[in-house]
Structure 1
């Protein structure tokens, strides 16, 4: 059973568990070549569906996963953000992916602050990471704005083990200091 009462709110965003009505916009994101360049590439709708089900499954089995990010003003699903720890992952990740029409508005940082706060408060994590492709400059900028630093190259589990990633991250103590700039 999903913990359906978990909701986070920021000034412009609502973060909640994924819902079936989010799928069409999620499928649009998964069909966008630039949006998926660093997260496994374009997915046809049937593959996007299976990938979409990962988050509700993780919520049900692990008690956490990425939140659906919804723009308050429009009510539209604009992406996903939050804690993520697949089997064999190199650490406790705060991951994210946003629909292209939401890019450039500061939504990634705004939603990351809320989910990092939630993860540290509710999951007992001592450190967070972001697995970022070396040429994904946009995600590196988000990580840097959050106060994360590049820790070095990382290794993902099969079948993703051929993907090049750098591990970015910070400890809870570092987040406590970095968080002050978002108050």
Structure 2
């Protein structure tokens, strides 16, 4: 069964991102772009000559989306990302009771914390899974590393909630 082609153009993408109307397609895409432009600076680029995708996916092109859709200049993006990293501590956050959960085949995992930072800032890297796999409902076909990771997540959250009930001021 052949599937229809998906129309894909920069102008259409910009028009869809500019629209604040609710639709069932692209749910959260506008919000993700806005947060990327104002806090994260996470961009999918393909500037390396070995990249198998379009060489048009450059940092400059991604920053141009911020400007054209939200009126946010590249300089403001840079300042906002610097502020976010300084305020939250980048990959050394100034907090505790944090789980950094990633799948090893998720391209975003490279931007995360992959090694335990302390006894209460823990990294869980799930072999053979991708983006947010641990947040999906459990299925009998789930790979063992995912089942194990969910058990570790449940354990730590339960332990931390138990501590919070004993000493609410410790939060």
* TM-score normalised by structure 1 residue count: 0.27
Higher-Rg structure is 2
Which structure shows the higher helix fraction?
Answer: 2
**Which structure ranks higher in relative contact order (CA pairs < 8 Å, sequence separation ≥ 6)?**
1
